[in-house]
Structure 1
Amino acid sequence: MHHPDPAPRPHHPVRVLRHVWIPMRDGVRLAARVWLPEDVTEPQPAILEYIPYRKNDGTASRDVTLHGAFARAGYAALRVDCRGSGDSEGVMLDEYHQDELDDAVDILAWLEQQEWCDGNVAMIGKSWGGFNGLQVAAMNPPQLKAVVTVCSTDDRYHDDVHYQGGAVLASEMLPWAATMLCYNARPQDPEVYGDAWREEWFARMARTPSYLDTWLGHQRRDAYWRHGSVIENPEAITAAVLTVGGWADPYRGAVRRLLGELTSPAKGLIGPWAHTYPHQAEPGPAMDFIGECLRWFGRYLRGDDTGADRLPALRAWMPDPAPFGSDSEERPGRWVVEEELPSPHIHAREFALRGTAALPPEQAGAPGAQPAAQLRSPLAVGAAAGNVLQFGDLAGRPGDQSADDGRSHTFTSAPLTERLEILGEPEVELTVSADRPRAQLAVRLCEVTPDGASRLVTTGLLNLTHRDSHAEPQPLEPGRQYRVTVPLFLTGHAFAAGSRVRVSVSASYWPWMWPSPEPVTVTVLPEGGTLRLPERPADPARDGEPTALPTPDPPAALDVTEVPATRTVRWDPVAREQVVEMTFSDGTTVDLTDGLTRTETELNRFRIREDDPASPVVECERTDAISRGGWDTEVRTYSRMTSTVDDFHVTNRLVALEGGREVFTRSWETTIPRDEV
């Protein structure tokens, strides 16, 4: 099966406009950096990336690899800082605020008026930029002809860093809010903004909100989350959409959903990667993502016959079995393709969950012949989970699941007699009851190898008050039996012959899932539990072709010092307390052209006592120092989240320094009632 290779890549010399102001409808100016093909006199299509991470020093090293390459291929390319970020004016009030989307429409209209743009525009972005590319496309501005959305979602409640299955994501919600609090408090660059930078900096710090207060104020899927969720009206999108995900990224399920929802041209690509652009992928193998983008842009911005419209609906990496820990840098496997979705080649393979066994249905016997399982799970279960949102670093990846399996109720199959490949969304159906009105389930699908190691394949969470609806959760009636289905993250995986399939179930999962408000026992009843796997029999006729490797990045006038992430887990057997601590850092980036220097650090700490639902504490510390010569600034934030039976409590503190001297402080506390979580 042959599909066209990415289009040959031209090599134009590039001219960079380091600072460009774009006026908005209300007079606010947004800051942009523009890359142009220098030897092209005719107007060209434009590629826009529109995010809040500071073009000058936050994403500068990544931008060179992406936008410089687009300009060399003959496109105009822009990196625009959202309102309230970087050098742009205003305040960023929330993620995907209507101001942000309206600003994007203004940017597109401005682009159409530039002498170097022919009025045809594509949006590209990973994560935030992938989100708003879809959201702007749903507004159907006439200039927007194509979108490349990477590691994003069509449903902001279903899979983002706030909630999963109606459960509060303890490991992600406060950490991301803390990061944005620090990011939003950083100053404009005086060399760009001028003498008024300091006044604007103080105004920004005084007005920037804590996003967590808003996110926790909407604990069910209401109008707040429907805003910006293009699943609500996918037919509004007329732009051609290339949707990209990775098996180590939590947003990957949106790739499959978008391919089913969109009526505009749409293709999907899922690799082995984490939350990264595929040309910089970890774990590998990386691919020539720039070439994939150029193929898409050539077809839908220029009208060239690049073959993008003849690609299969989905290209996905099928990982091969590998000894646990042997694939830290690169996951062995092959590309497979599905010409259409739903695929006629993928069928549900069922295992009956009985006692502690996962059995073929013909061996299951009567459900009632097995004992019930009582789950009063230790609250510290989940330390081996890794991060929900992974960036490819080893510290964020899941470890051997054996210890967590031992503290969960498990259903394990006999050794497989042949290789089993799956591609899709597994699900687990159980009959459960609880002795309290609020309870939760975490379900993990694992591969247990002959040496006893347990590899995490995929995971699902369900707040049982959300068993029927995320919009209208209902408390449980203690003692009543409920039939529930727990969907797991989309996955591609090959179980080796001789391995066993395991389903692990627990009523807690820390630090992913904020615990239920009081001690609770969940009973898993022997009423015909079922695991459904999306089996895709291997067929060489439906294998894909190897993708090209990334082209080397061009030299850049940037000095980047990287700092590896860390993760430690400490257990105090006397206090029965567990502390998980993680550090991350963008390291230090120095722009050699003007000396602009940025150093950033992050620390997240998750503390819990094994038997006390009132004990969880999440603490986040952030620092972001930006300087040049005698100009020296630093922003520090500290955020803390705790809970009681009835409420969540959030504390934030913001401190700014100039020249090493404290010049601004702000502290605030918020109490937010729990709403069936």
Structure 2
Amino acid sequence: MQESSHIKATNSMKSHPQLFIMKQTVISHFLLHKFTSLCLATMIALLASCQSRSQTITYVKEEVMIPMRDGVKLFTRIYIPQNVKEPVPILLMRSPYSSWNMGTVPPDEDPYVRDMAKEGYIFVYQNIRGKQRSEGKFVMQRPVIANRVADTVDESTDTYDTIEWLLKHVKNNNGKVGQLGISYPGWLALVSSGYPHPALKAVSPQAEMGDLFLGDDFHHNGAFRLSYGFEYSFEEEAAKGDTSFPFPQYDLYDWYLRLGPLSNVNEQYFHHRIPTWDAFVQHPDYDSFWQHQSPLSYIDTPRIPTLHVGGFWDQEDINGPQLMYSHMEKYDVHHDNFICLGPWYHGQWVNEDVEQIGNYHMGSNTAAYFQQQIQKAWFDYWLKGKGNGHFPEAIVFQTGSNQWKTYDTWPPRNAIHRQLFIQANGQLSFHKPQTQDSLAFDAYISDPRHPVPYRSRPIEKTYSPHSRWRTWLTEDQRFVDHRPDVATWETPPLDSNLTVTGDIVAHLFASTTGTDADWVVKLIDVYPDLDSLHPTMSGYELMVASEVFRGRFRKSFTQPEPIQPGKVEAYVVDLHQINHVFRKGHRLMVQIQSTWFPVIDRNPQRYVPNIFEAKENDFQTATQRIYRNARYATYVDLPVMKE
């Protein structure tokens, strides 16, 4: 066909030479015009690309030592944006750590703040006193006293002095500062908000440490968190940098069991060189030491806009964001107090792509949603004046349905409280037991010498590269299903969805043959035996709420007392807040046990005034009874939403 076309063109040229030349001329002008237009478009695109590159914000790093009012200097990294047209605000992060929240990755490469970095902020990362390259002495969760005691320093004064220096020495700032951080840095942001510098316009304490005796980090309801307390205090205080304890083995379950009574820690390993461990030993109850350290004692009304952020499966500070939001909400007359809760472990939302925690799939990239739609919008409004500032009181991810929800109050007021009672034969139902038989109970034997592991073995070092510490709260609870020291009850399969939103509270009626006891309560979503939507989750027992309570504190955390053997006592155990849909065909399960090792130390089950001074012969087995009759009806209170 090509050859035939060529013959036709040749014959046409021979027959009508002038016409052919005219056609060629027209074509040539057309091609020239098209080529010229193409070149022009290409040049415009190249110029636009060059202009865009010239306007791309890049960052220059400076490292300085900022002096505090007492002369101590704090190591600070500052990332200053280039190619910005107007002054920009300062985002401050303070931390005791060498890496997390310390700007080791430039902000325009860090998923946590990258979306804000693209539009221009001054990013400031500072190590607190006595940590890493900062001067001074480190004090764990240094008590905030400068507001009461003149001529003293604490984290609030150090923040104030830092902001004052930054405003004077960092060029092109717009006079507005925001602060954020996760975990310890989240607590530092909370502290700053209580006594803010005038330029501090908004904060976001994320996974902040709350009360360290009642429900975060080192204790939960008075029960000591052994593996975490041991490893974290050593890491922070054995040296100025981050130092990991040199365990001689990988699986630490047996190591902690061989450790024996807590008194062996100083005798064999720490030798009174770890101040926080000594504080544990000296303050086994909720005395003035813990009360003064608690932000409940020095934070009241939100003085600047505050966005609390937390995770439903936070293995370290699950209570802090919920506790401090609730506490500050009582005083919030100017509508400055907000909360965001997501389906995350501790700080998981800093990552690039978060669609899964353990074996639970979230259905979307929840980290990107938080970083772009929540965190960026928050600071853009308060520090740059962008957006309308109409923030929901609460932005809360709903697990089970995998949807983001907003609420005018948190928890929502329109939930209907239903009581889920334990029944005979391992059943659960929303009907109260009617039996008058006082002996209607379920029993198990708790042996502190053979404690229930809190997660499947091996139990790796908390912060080792392959540790499953971050995701253990979502671990399949089938690994303890058939243990005789774990009591279990469950409902039949649900005939419709059940949405539970708000505070989960267990009400136990229990007795023990010992004189002290721990009560661990777990609320579990049991997937169908064959789940067509999530085949690999078939039969999975997903823990959606859990907590431990040390029995000696049933009447008072400040004045513990022994339990009378055999006496039925009432225990109220707060399992914290959830927003979860138990889907049709799923079952609800409740498990109760008395050991959770080694995340919780072994209760000797014989009352001793100070468990840190217990001896080996104080540890004893005990028979635990959980009652289920008309008089003593054990139940879990569920705030159920209307569909």
Q: TM-score with structure 2 length normalisation? A: 0.71
Which aligned pairs between 1:80-479 and structure 2 lie closer than 5 A? 80-98=126-144, 99-114=154-169, 115-182=171-238, 184-185=240-241, 209-250=274-315, 251-262=317-328, 263=332, 265-280=336-351, 281=354, 283=357, 285=365, 286-291=367-372, 292-302=374-384, 304=385, 306-308=387-389, 310-320=390-400, 333-362=402-431, 364-366=433-435, 368=437, 371-378=440-447, 379-384=450-455, 395-396=468-469, 397-398=471-472, 399-407=475-483, 408-451=486-529, 452-479=539-566
- Given the alignment of the two structures, is residue 39 of structure 1 paired with residue 83 of structure 2, yes or no? yes
AA matched with 2:159: A
Is contact 1:417–1:497 with CA below 8 Å preserved after alignment? yes
CA distance in structure 2 between the partners assigned to 1:339 and 1:232 by the alignment = 27
Instruction: Quickly say closer, same or farther: Cα 1:213–1:124, change in 2 above 3 A.
Output: same
SS at structure 2 position matched to 1:426: strand
SS at structure 2 position matched to 1:270: strand
Deviation (angstroms), 1:28:
1.4
CA offset digits 1:439-470 (Å, max 9, x no partner) = 11111111223324422222110000111222
CA distance in structure 2 between the partners assigned to 1:490 and 1:385 by the alignment = 25
CA distance in structure 1 between the partners assigned to 2:309 and 2:74 by the alignment = 28
CA distance in structure 1 between the partners assigned to 2:312 and 2:402 by the alignment = 12
CA distance in structure 1 between the partners assigned to 2:489 and 2:382 by the alignment = 49
- Given the alignment of the two structures, is residue 521 of structure 1 paired with residue 623 of structure 2, yes or no? yes
Deviation (angstroms), 1:133:
0.7
Partner of 2:58: 14
CA distance in structure 1 between the partners assigned to 2:273 and 2:160 by the alignment = 23
Instruction: Quickly say closer, same or farther: Cα 1:156–1:300, change in 2 above 3 A.
Output: farther
CA offset digits 1:153-173 (Å, max 9, x no partner) = 442322221001110112311
CA distance in structure 1 between the partners assigned to 2:167 and 2:409 by the alignment = 35
Which structure has the larger Rg? 2
CA distance in structure 1 between the partners assigned to 2:327 and 2:465 by the alignment = 29
Deviation (angstroms), 1:318:
1.5
CA offset digits 1:259-284 (Å, max 9, x no partner) = 43331512221222211252414636
Instruction: Quickly say closer, same or farther: Cα 1:138–1:272, change in 2 above 3 A.
Output: same
- After the TM superposition, which of the residue ranges 423-432 and 33-42 deviates more from structure 2? 33-42
Is contact 1:172–1:512 with CA below 8 Å preserved after alignment? yes
Q: How many residues align?
A: 499
Is contact 2:78–2:124 with CA below 8 Å preserved after alignment? yes
AA matched with 2:561: Q
Deviation (angstroms), 1:370:
5.9
CA offset digits 1:201-259 (Å, max 9, x no partner) = xxxx9998442222333222233223343333543431111111122214344444444
CA distance in structure 2 between the partners assigned to 1:59 and 1:424 by the alignment = 36
AA matched with 2:327: E
Instruction: Quickly say closer, same or farther: Cα 1:32–1:438, change in 2 above 3 A.
Output: same
CA distance in structure 2 between the partners assigned to 1:254 and 1:459 by the alignment = 15
CA distance in structure 2 between the partners assigned to 1:358 and 1:255 by the alignment = 34
CA distance in structure 2 between the partners assigned to 1:222 and 1:300 by the alignment = 39
Partner of 1:610: none
AA matched with 1:373: D
CA distance in structure 2 between the partners assigned to 1:447 and 1:533 by the alignment = 13
Deviation (angstroms), 1:529:
0.9
SS at structure 2 position matched to 1:510: coil
CA distance in structure 1 between the partners assigned to 2:131 and 2:55 by the alignment = 32
Partner of 1:30: 74
AA matched with 1:215: F
The answer for unaligned runs of 5 or more in structure 2 is 1-53, 145-153, 244-269, 530-538, 605-618
**Which structure is higher in strand share?**
1
Partner of 1:489: 576
Partner of 2:23: none
Which aligned pairs between 1:54-93 and structure 2 lie closer than 5 A? 54=98, 60-61=104-105, 64-65=109-110, 66=112, 70-93=116-139
- Given the alignment of the two structures, is residue 537 of structure 1 paired with residue 603 of structure 2, yes or no? no
Is contact 1:422–1:491 with CA below 8 Å preserved after alignment? yes
Is contact 1:111–1:119 with CA below 8 Å preserved after alignment? no
- The percentage of aligned residue pairs carrying the same residue is 23
**Which structure is higher in helix share?**
2
